[in-house]
Structure formats: C-alpha cells, structure tokens
Structure 1
C-alpha cells in the first residue's frame, strides 16, 4: 500500500507540472548574442590558403629562439610563480565544486545514532508511566534520500559547475602563457640593454679620443677653445647615457627575478648576444581558427556555458521537487531494548515540494541569472574583439619592423662605408683622424638603432605568439592534474571558430 501511495504521489507531482509549468517566466530572456568568426572577419574561405602554410604554436614555443638561458628562466618561472600557483588553486577549487554538484545527482545515505537521557513532563501529552519519569532513549538507523531530477535542476547545476571548472582550467593556461611571454619579453629587453651598453661604452671611448685629439689641435693652434669646450661637453653626455642604461639593466634584472621567484637574486648576469638569438617565423595573417587557440577566449566561452546552465537551473526552480526518502533502524525508550526486534522501525515514501506563491522570488532569481548570462556573453564578445585587434596589431608591427630593418641596414651600410673611406683617407695622409671619429659617430648611431629594431622584432614575435594562443591546448591543465573526468564530462560545446549555441549548447557551424 505504501508503494502504491508513493507512486500516486509521484504521479500527482508530475501532474502538478501542468500548473507550475505555466508559472510566469515571460519577458525574461537573454538580450545579448555571441559574436562568431565571420562577424569578426575571420572567414575560413578568405584565409584558408594562408592557414595551410601556418605552423601551430608549440606548447614550449620559447625553445624555438635557441637560447638555453631563456629556457631555464621560463622553466623556473613556471615552477615557482605565485600567480601560476594561484590560478591552479582556483582550478582545484572549481573542480571541488563540480564534485559537490555531481554528488547532488546521486542517492544519499546517512547513519544516525542518538542516545538521550530525558525527563518527560508530568503535565503534558505524555501518558503514564513516562509522565514525570526520567528515561534513557535511543535511535540507531539509516536514512536514505534521492531527489528525482525530473526537470533537470541538479543536472543543470552540474553542467554550470563543469563550465566553471573548464573556465578555471583555461584561466590557468592563460596565466601560464602570459607568464612565459612576460619572462621572454623581459629577457629580450635585458639583451637589448646589454647590447646598448656595449655601444655606449664605445661611444664614450670615441668621445675621449675626440677630446684628446681636439686638445692636441688646440695646443698646436689649429683649433680654438670653442671646439675644446664642445668636445668636453660630449663626455658627460656619454657617461650619462651609460649610467642610464646600467640603471635600466638593474631594474630589468629585478623584474626578471620577480617573474622567476628570485627578486633578490642575480639573474642573467651574462645575457646572450642579440645576434645569437634565432628569429621565429610568424604568420602574416590572422588565422581563421584564432578564437579556438586562445586560453582567455576559451575561459570566456566556458563562462557563457556556465551562465547558460545557471539560467536553466533558475527555470527549474519553478517546478516541483520530488524526493524519495527512506529510513530503517531501531528506536526505544530504555537502552536495554534498543536492539530488540520490537524496536525496529522503517519507512519509505516520496516527498513533494511545490512552489505556489513566492512573492516574485523565483522571477527575480531568473532575471538575475539571465543578466549574468548577458554579462558573460558581452565579456566574451569584448575578449574576442580584443584578441583580433591584438593579433592585427602584432602582425602590422611585425611587417613594419621588417621594412624598417631593411631601411636601417641600408643606412648602416652607407655609414660604415663612409667610415671606411674616412679611415682609408687618414691612413693615406689625405685626411685627419677627427674626420674618422666623426664618421664613426654615424656608425654608432646606426648600431644603436639596429639593436633597438632587433629587440622590437623579438618582442613582437613573442607578443604575436601570445596573441595566437601561446600553444594553448584545451584540457591540458586538467589532464595534468588528474581531472580528465571533468573535461570529458563537460565536452567542449564550441566549434573551431569559438562560437556557442545558447539554445542547444552545440557548436554553430
């Protein structure tokens, strides 16, 4: 009879859906829509030929520069960085939330043991001989419950938690890419400063030689004190430039030390020569699958997924909750009889909770979750627009730097040729050494410019690698931490263009 009654109550709950299913949700719908690849100009048809020649960015892309010192610095940063460990801790927290949401979908079983010494009132509903007496009582039983998720509330909560966990995994990868790129860019800045210091030292030596020559000419009556004072003014200027560069090197070393977790250590005291660092081939076009390559875009997509499932969960709050509950055990007054067969008790049956009047609480909750979804969508849109701009900027800079380097090499060749001519004329007795030093000034200026342009080229290559995703592979952090179940359970509902179908959770093709 109890089972028949339980079945009847479940059926009544399902019939109640006809009432609560008509609860007013009208007027509460998302207002934002996701930007897809074609709307951003990332047409596969337009860039397909360029994509054929592209090589995906390797996970350890920094090794392509061929600098072992850089490899060691990045490895140390990835191992010790607090920012990376913070992102990993957030991932672990999101994974724990997923496990908690998963537990809510399964039956629950609890043990209970209560032992009580109690005086029963003599003037209440308790009959003699209990009335006015002091007795021991005990209960030992198992309690079971299982929420029948007819309307998908618990499943939606689990899916939302999975989306948040996958977003945290992508955030951890984005932190890894950002850290590696910052180390590389800071190290290349240190390389640039080291090269500039060498040029500045030669400039100082050249100014000293010029001053000595002018002093000799003044002593011989060939120059005046005007030329002497002008030459003397060049020495403090050269020393100032050298001191400024050395200060910048110290600050850059401090920044690099902080990135690798050694803020007070002597880092990279002997950086590699700039011409020993290999240039990395980079694409000249924006790839059509850009949105699928970047960890920050993946994180934004997963937050849209999580928010959409929160909306589903909010809608299920309008429907009944149906639980199956059961208990079995012993209960008695007097502990000596607790385990007697007559002390047995058990029960089983459904429990129905039906929202009837909540003063607008459910609508307010749904409206809030819908607003969160709109915010997540617009955050995603902002991220993809910024990603496309970032890549476009780096591609434009890379192409411009290549043209600038070609012009600078031509100017440097001309300056060095003039210097060689001045030197040959001096050696042949047709000119003085002051002309040689003057010609060398142009050569040193071009060398400084060459160092800056080469440094900008390396920096732009790293920036473009980061903009293209930095070797991000979806799911790699979760797999590394033994969380493959989470990633698999929340299989990515996005296409290569990074778009997501809000209604179905499927890829937009």
Structure 2
C-alpha cells in the first residue's frame, strides 16, 4: 500500500481593516444602545402602621404550628395527617417538585455549555461502466464499496462578560422561590381549612346535643300537658301545642344530625380519609374557648405571609427578567472548542483486491461574537413590555401587602368582638336557664300556664343556640386570625432552603 501526501501552503491573509472597523463600529453601537437603556425599577409602597387598631395581643404563640395553641390533640392529629396525606397537600408537593425540576434544567442550561456529539457512517458502492487506460497503465479507480465514519464533539461556551447569565439565574431562582411560597401558602390554607371544618363539626355536635336535650324537655312538657288535658285541667289545645313544639324540635334534631354527618364526611375528605366510615371520626360535644390573640405587629406580615412573599418573589423575577432583556442589547461572546475523528475505507488503486483506509483526527478552537443590529427595535419593544410587566408585579406586591394587613386587622377585630359576645351570651344563657327552671316548677305546681313555660323554654333554647354559635364563630375567627397573621408554615426552613440554592453553579443530581 502506497502513502500519498499532498498539500498546499497558504499565504497569510492581509488584515482587512474595513471589516474589523465595521465590527468595532457595530459593537460600539450595541454598547451605546445598551447604555441608553436603563429602565428605572418600580418601588412598591409597602409601608405599614406601627401597630394594629385591634386590641393588642398578649400571647406569645408559635405561629409555625399555631394549632397547638388550642390544646386539642385531635385537632393537631387531623392537621398533621392532612399535611402529610391529604390530596391538596400531595398536589401542592407535586407542583413544587415540577418547579424544582424546571429550575434544575434551567440552571443546567445557563451554566453548562451546549455539547452536541454528532456522528455518522455511510457506505458508497461504485461500479465502473467504462474506463480508458493507456497501454501499460494502471486503472486510476476501481469499483466496489467505500465506507466512511466520523464523530465530532463540539462545545459552545458563552462568556458571561456582562452578567447576562447571572441575571438569568436570578430569574430562575426567584421563580422557584415564588413556587415555594405558593406551596407553603397552600399548606397553610389546608391547615386552616381543616381546623375550621373541625370546629364547624364541633359546633353542629353541640347544637345537636342541645336539640336532643330540648327534645327531652319538650317531651316531658308534652306528657304533663296530656295528663292535665285528660284530667280536664287544661284545654286540649295546649296539649296539641306541646305536641307540635316537640315535633318541631325532633325535626330540627334530625336536620342537625344530617348536617353533622355531612360535616364529618367533608372533614374526612379534607384530611385524605374520604372513604373511612363516619364512626372513625368521633366529634366531642364541647366547644372550648378560643385562645387569645397572638402578640404581633403589622411589619411581621412582610416576612410571615406566604402570599406576600410570593408576590415579592414574582416582582424580583420580573425585575431580573427586565435586566436580561436590557443585556440582550450587548454583544454575545462564545468560545467554541471541538474535536473530531474520521475514518474512510475505499478500494485501492490499481488492480489489486485490497482496500485503502485513512484515519484522521482534528481539533478546533474558535471564538465568535454576536452583535444585535437589525433587531434592536424588537429588543427595545421587549424591554418596554417587560417594564410594564414589572410595574404590574410591583402593584400586585403592594396589593398583597395591603390585603394582608386588612385581613389581619379585620380578623383580630372580629375575634375580639366574638370573645366579648361569648362573655355576654354566657351570662344571658345562665339567666334564661334560671328563668325556665322557675317557670317549669311553677307549671308543675299549677301556678303558671303552659304557654308561659314554653316561652321560657324557647327563650332558653334561643340563648343556648346563640351561645353555641358565638363560641363556634370565636373558634373559627381564631383560626382565621392565625392564618391572616401568616401562621401555618416556617419561614426559617424556607430561608435555609434558599441559601442552599443560592450557589449559581450548584445543581443537584437528585
């Protein structure tokens, strides 16, 4: 097999001053355009009063797990079960996992260069149809199969001279932070919903117990009335009225029993036990007092409310996106190293039956610059559009802060009013009970008629119902207050997670 080497020495090319000057001019034009674009960032107004107008709180409660303040083991168990197994909790976790995966892919795309590995193989068949060879000459080509193989590994690495990559990383991290705060907000809402459903069921259980107690009282009054009517001491119409009052109480008890069953089923669904029997969720017939308002100040809402933190993260993301759009006016510099391997196998020259093969390796090292020129108007339009979106995010942040303050203030005012109402209705219910007991004794002695006794009983029933409603409302508004103050999640754990993802080059393989 013979070796043939051919080549041609190339002369150095002269310096093309015109092209270089044009490139320099375009680069300076891009820098000038970028320098002229420095969009002012909006400054949201997040000022809050120094204190709430509602009565100051006195309790130092653990807002992260506020449900412990109610000293109710069943409530704590239900909330912790819901946070672990409820469909809403698992769905929120899946959304967060999606955001985490998206962030990981985006970070890799920003910091890890594009490295395509390409290769190909081919076979070519050549058949000689005619060939003229001088006398004594050797055929220059032969028919047969020729094979070729090559592989190339090229890298393109953008130099982050102007901070475009870091600005893009800021967008990615702030988007993930917003997703994390949305996740925490969903869990906080779930905990509050479980507590509210639990106390609503408790309230229905107490109302049902009151209705059954009233049913026993009315049954006793009905029996008294029937005996007196049979003895001719009272008119039969009074016995009929007592019977009607008893039927009304029985109907109310049946309705409350159905409502309680529906409330228990809803609570089971909420905690992820929707197909369990109702008997698996006992409901105590009692309503404890709501805990006092936690001691806090309005400024704490900026760090504790997950929806406020989410709005803040979305504003930061929008601002970073605006920075990325501004930096798009600047030139992009890339380094493009690469290596390649190739091999070809073809029929040998002459009349032999062998084949010749050639193997080569190559490497390249290049650099290129990309300067936006003709698309500058489009880039400026993108900047204007993103500036508008950033201002929208700032307004949304302001609204989130004001809404958080309003919800917290209203919840605390309502809770304070509920607690005063409970105190007043407790005293009123005790007086109504004493009045009924006195009338019942008088009716048994024949000193008071049935109408007066039934009116006293109805007054006591109304007082009991109002007190039960007030206690239920106080518990519900206590839950609402804890939620409005930003309870139900741990800002500290989220901050630790944010520190772990702060390193722009750290990409977990998990």
SS in 1 for 2:33: coil
SS in 2 for 1:135: strand
Deviation digits for residues 427-472 of structure 1 (CA, Å, limit 9, x no counterpart) = 8x57358466653433332222211111111111101001111143
Structure 1: any 5+ residue segments left out of the alignment?
123-127, 491-509
SS in 2 for 1:22: helix
Counterparts of 1:276-425 in structure 2, within 5 Å, are: 277=288, 279-283=290-294, 287-334=298-345, 340=359, 343-358=360-375, 360-422=377-439
Q: 1:43 aligns with which of 32, 42, 49?
A: 49
Kindly state the Cα deviation for residue 119 of structure 1 after the two structures are TM-superposed: 4.2
CA contact (8 A) 1:47 1:287 kept: yes
Tell me how far apart the structure 1 counterparts of residues 35 and 382 of structure 2 sit (CA, whole Å): 11
Tell me how far apart the structure 2 counterparts of residues 34 and 121 of structure 1 sit (CA, whole Å): 75
CA contact (8 A) 1:62 1:70 kept: yes
Tell me how far apart the structure 1 counterparts of residues 141 and 24 of structure 2 sit (CA, whole Å): 44
Tell me how far apart the structure 2 counterparts of residues 85 and 312 of structure 1 sit (CA, whole Å): 35
SS in 1 for 2:263: helix
Tell me how far apart the structure 2 counterparts of residues 370 and 347 of structure 1 sit (CA, whole Å): 42
Kindly state the Cα deviation for residue 249 of structure 1 after the two structures are TM-superposed: 0.9
SS in 1 for 2:232: coil
> What is the aligned partner in structure 2 of residue 273 from structure 1?
285
SS in 2 for 1:115: strand
SS in 1 for 2:273: coil
> What is the aligned partner in structure 2 of residue 486 from structure 1?
501
SS in 1 for 2:342: strand
Q: Is 1:87 equivalent to 2:92 in the alignment?
A: yes
CA contact (8 A) 2:110 2:168 kept: no
Deviation digits for residues 46-92 of structure 1 (CA, Å, limit 9, x no counterpart) = 569x9895625332221221222222211221112222222222222
Kindly state the Cα deviation for residue 314 of structure 1 after the two structures are TM-superposed: 1.1
> What is the aligned partner in structure 2 of residue 22 from structure 1?
32
Deviation digits for residues 182-204 of structure 1 (CA, Å, limit 9, x no counterpart) = 00100110011001001001112
Tell me how far apart the structure 2 counterparts of residues 153 and 366 of structure 1 sit (CA, whole Å): 14
Q: 1:458 aligns with which of 458, 467, 475?
A: 475
Tell me how far apart the structure 2 counterparts of residues 356 and 131 of structure 1 sit (CA, whole Å): 53
Kindly state the Cα deviation for residue 278 of structure 1 after the two structures are TM-superposed: 5.4
RMSD over aligned Cα, in angstroms?
3.7
Q: Is 1:58 equivalent to 2:63 in the alignment?
A: yes
> What is the aligned partner in structure 2 of residue 228 from structure 1?
239
Cα distance change, pair 360–113 in 1 and its aligned pair in 2 (3 A):
closer
Tell me how far apart the structure 1 counterparts of residues 156 and 339 of structure 2 sit (CA, whole Å): 12
Tell me how far apart the structure 1 counterparts of residues 237 and 142 of structure 2 sit (CA, whole Å): 120
Tell me how far apart the structure 1 counterparts of residues 32 and 397 of structure 2 sit (CA, whole Å): 33
* Number of residue pairs the alignment of both structures matches: 468
TM-score (norm 1): 0.81
Structure 2: any 5+ residue segments left out of the alignment?
1-11, 128-138, 347-354, 506-510
Cα distance change, pair 13–387 in 1 and its aligned pair in 2 (3 A):
farther
CA contact (8 A) 1:165 1:486 kept: no
Tell me how far apart the structure 2 counterparts of residues 324 and 413 of structure 1 sit (CA, whole Å): 86
Deviation digits for residues 139-164 of structure 1 (CA, Å, limit 9, x no counterpart) = 23432221011222221111101001
CA contact (8 A) 2:34 2:330 kept: no
Cα distance change, pair 319–375 in 1 and its aligned pair in 2 (3 A):
same
> What is the aligned partner in structure 2 of residue 112 from structure 1?
117
> What is the aligned partner in structure 2 of residue 75 from structure 1?
80
Tell me how far apart the structure 1 counterparts of residues 461 and 295 of structure 2 sit (CA, whole Å): 32
- Name which of structure 1's ranges 167-176 and 283-292 shifts more when overlaid on structure 2: 283-292
Kindly state the Cα deviation for residue 409 of structure 1 after the two structures are TM-superposed: 1.9
SS in 2 for 1:357: coil
CA contact (8 A) 1:135 1:334 kept: yes
TM-score (norm 2): 0.81
Cα distance change, pair 366–475 in 1 and its aligned pair in 2 (3 A):
farther
Tell me how far apart the structure 1 counterparts of residues 388 and 95 of structure 2 sit (CA, whole Å): 24
> What is the aligned partner in structure 2 of residue 186 from structure 1?
197
Q: Max radius of gyration: which structure?
A: 2
Kindly state the Cα deviation for residue 302 of structure 1 after the two structures are TM-superposed: 0.5
> What is the aligned partner in structure 2 of residue 201 from structure 1?
212
> What is the aligned partner in structure 2 of residue 144 from structure 1?
155
